[in-house]
Amino acid sequence: MRKGEAPGRIEAIVGPMFSGKTEELIRRVKRARIAGLEVQVYKPAIDDRYSAREVSSHSGGRMDAVLVEGAAEVLRATAHGEAVDVVAIDEAQFFDEAIVGVCDALASNGVRVIVAGLDTDFRGEPFVHMAKIMAIADQVTKLDAVCEVCGAPATRSQRIINGMPAHFDDPIVLVGAKESYQARCRKCHVVPGKEALSI
């Protein structure tokens, strides 16, 4: 790296559903492009809620993206393309755990990595590889939403099935939006079947 040249880095944008993570990723990508940087945006193939070929925020923001099946494909696509200054990865919690090493390898090779995703699942427990990305990130931006029950700052994603909170033993991954999830604060977040620790 030459003196004055920007080093690689990892910027993690995390929070619950409806907190503006993708909107923030799009904002940073737009600024990078204004600065004349070469940017590549990736999204997991599993996330086709709004568009198969775009990163899309709940508020309607959109940006073209490359659809990939797994984390290793991000590394391969970046290595075989033109020189890339910035790699943006949306919905990182849907990737396999190899996404941690991919982000680290890209940053070590001088790429600015912007990675957005849920920090916790519907049970309020960490997505393991997102926790690892946060640990190795150079910058972590943790966003909150607005609790749909009481209006307080929301840090949890409440899954709703047939009008009721999902059970602790339900599958971890369920791609959805307003029809399946609500933003909730810690107090209003309910997970039937989850044992509470008493102090």
pLDDT in tens, 132-164: 999 999 999 999 999 999 999 999 999 998 888
pLDDT band at residue 2, thresholds of 50, 70 and 90? Answer: very low
CB contact at 8 A, 87 and 111: yes
Q: Where are the domains of the chain?
A: 9-145
pLDDT score for 1 = 43
pLDDT score for 80 = 65
For this structure, is 91 an active site residue? Answer: yes
- Rounded CA-CA distance 9/105 in Å is 10
pLDDT score for 55 = 66
pLDDT score for 78 = 84
pLDDT score for 52 = 63
pLDDT score for 90 = 94
Indicate whether 7 pLDDT > 80: no
Q: Strands 9-15, 112-118: parallel, antiparallel or unpaired by DSSP? A: parallel
Kindly report the pTM of this predicted structure. Answer: 0.87
Comparing 1 with 47, the larger pLDDT belongs to: 47
The highest-level CATH class for domain 9-145 is alpha beta
Catalytic residue among 11, 23, 73, 91: 91
Q: What is the mean pLDDT of residues 67-79?
A: 88
Indicate whether 120 pLDDT > 80: yes
